[in-house]
Amino acid sequence: MDKQISFLDQLFDRGILYDSAVDGLYARSGIFEDVIARFEDLAKSFGKDETSEAMVFPPGLPMKDFETSGYMKNFPQLAGTVHAFCGNDHDHAGLLQCLASGEDWTKNQKATDIALTPAACYPLYPILARRGPLPATGAYVALQSYCYRHEPSREPTRMQMFRQREFVRVGNSEQAIEFRETWKKRGQEIMKLLQLPCHVEVANDPFFGRAGKIMGSSQREQELKFELVVPINSEASPTACMSFNYHMDNFGKAWNIRQADGSHAYTACVGFGLERIALALFRHHGLETENWPTNVRKVLWG
Ligand code: ATP
Ligand code: ZN
């Protein structure tokens, strides 16, 4: 049996995750959630002196802001939108008939004004923009969100619904770049404390289509994105557990976020894939958290 499948099956067998009929959509056990909560506390302890605000987002963002993000231009294959029934009695009767006969009942569902959040930091930018120009110190926000990406897979590390914890820096280009470099180091320190093998490498986002290939190589050339990878499913292709992103002033321009001097703001974010980090810990230290190395337990549970 494939090694990836067997890790997923082990997680189900031990009741760490619970299967559904949909690949990449799993219920989490108490212990899995506890590992994530402990990891989040650890990550937050690293950024605590700089962070000025904390936010947790629901898993959807306004459709208007989703459009502004450019996600449909770059990653249409991954996006999800919320649709709802908006019909009358007659439409409802038709829907029930479709359901009863096993036909597609969703064809008259209408798009709502909510899209599923594809990346945890997107809902932050319009909030900052609405406040007007930033102070000279910029903004430094700790946040968390459930995210959705339409990438069904039996690799346990590729879920359709998962959480990202992020730190986001908004200000001038020096502030954004310095933040990203600091977190590259901190990410590796965190993984050392957790005794997880890792390395940081330059990366690119999965831009769609033929034009996307060019965008991906340009992103790599400019070293805008780095990932911290850990072997989880296989040694040969380690999995991105953290990403360190510099967006230049793209989001500042898209959402009209201004610096104190009126120019567009620069942004950077570090994203922790919470489920992937929990899975890396279970993969490397075993399925019983009581048997994890003493120092790892100390770092997480004190
Ligand atoms: P990948 O290259 O593996 O598809 P990505 O480059 O799309 O990941 P980012 O957009 O940088 O990932 O997302 C930030 C972090 O969120 C990733 O480093 C990863 O830890 C996590 N993540 C991304 N996609 C998934 C997923 N499908 N399931 C679980 N975690 C994910
Ligand atoms: Zn981000």
- The rounded Å distance from CA 165 to ligand 2 centre is 9
The 10s digit of each residue's pLDDT in 8-26 is 999 999 999 999 999 999 9
Nearest alpha carbon, ligand 1 atom 16: 273
The ligand minimizing its distance to the Cα of 176 is 2
Which atom of ligand 1 is nearest the CA belonging to 225? 11
For 107, 134, 199, the CA distances from 131, given in Å and listed in that order, are 40, 8, 38
74 CB near ligand 1 (under 6 Å):
no
Cα torsion 248, 249, 250, 255: sign: positive
**Residues that place a CB less than 5 A from ion ligand 2:** 121, 269
The 10s digit of each residue's pLDDT in 26-69 is 999 999 999 999 999 999 999 899 999 999 999 999 999 999 99
- Which pTM value belongs to this model? 0.96
Q: DSSP letters of 153-172?
A: -SSTT--SEEEEEEEEEEES
164 CB near ligand 1 (under 6 Å):
yes
Tokens of 10: 């082990």
Nearest alpha carbon, ligand 1 atom 22: 273
Mean pLDDT, all residues of the chain: 96
- The rounded Å distance from CA 261 to ligand 2 centre is 24
Nearest alpha carbon, ligand 1 atom 7: 205
| Residue type, position 159, single letter | M
The 10s digit of each residue's pLDDT in 210-266 is 999 999 999 999 999 999 999 999 999 999 999 999 999 999 999 999 999 999 999
Which atom of ligand 1 is nearest the CA belonging to 206? 7
Backbone angles phi, psi at 11, to 5 degrees: -65, -40
Helices first, then strands: H and E counts in the chain: 11, 12
Write down the pLDDT at residue 6.
Answer: 85
Tokens of 238: 């380690």
Closest CA to 166 of 211, 134, 120: 120
- The rounded Å distance from CA 125 to ligand 2 centre is 10
The ligand minimizing its distance to the Cα of 123 is 2
- Structure-token match 């991954």, residue found: 78
The 10s digit of each residue's pLDDT in 154-190 is 999 999 999 999 999 999 999 999 999 999 999 999 9
Report d(CA 231, CA 275) in Å as an integer. Answer: 14
Nearest alpha carbon, ligand 1 atom 23: 273
**If you count them, how many residues does the chain have?**
302
273 CB near ligand 1 (under 6 Å):
yes
- The rounded Å distance from CA 14 to ligand 2 centre is 33
Tokens of 244: 């360190």
The ligand minimizing its distance to the Cα of 242 is 1
Instruction: For each of the domains in the chain, give its residue range(s) and CATH number, in order of start.
Output: 3-80+118-301 (3.30.930.10), 85-116 (no CATH)
The 10s digit of each residue's pLDDT in 63-107 is 999 999 999 999 999 999 999 999 999 999 999 999 999 999 999
151 CB near ligand 1 (under 6 Å):
yes
Long-range contacts of 155-159 (CB under 8 A, 24+ apart): 155/4, 155/8, 155/233, 156/4, 156/7, 156/8, 156/11, 156/17, 156/232, 156/233, 156/279, 157/232, 157/233, 157/239, 157/273, 157/275, 157/276, 157/279, 158/24, 159/24, 159/25, 159/26, 159/275
Measure the CA angle with vertex 168, ends 163 and 169; round to 5°.
Answer: 175
- The rounded Å distance from CA 12 to ligand 1 centre is 22
The 10s digit of each residue's pLDDT in 183-211 is 999 999 999 999 999 999 999 999 999 99
Closest CA to 184 of 268, 275, 119: 268
Backbone angles phi, psi at 141, to 5 degrees: -120, 135
> What stretches of the chain show up as alpha helix (H) in DSSP?
3-13, 30-47, 63-68, 71-74, 89-101, 124-130, 173-193, 209-221, 250-255, 274-285, 294-301
Q: Order of strands across the sheet with 81-84?
A: 60-62, 110-116, 81-84
40 CB near ligand 1 (under 6 Å):
no
For residue 116, how many other CB atoms are within 10 A of its CB? Answer: 20
Tokens of 265: 């703001």
Select from 227, 269, 279 the residue to mutate for testing ligand 1; criterion: most ligand atoms less than 8 Å from CB.
227
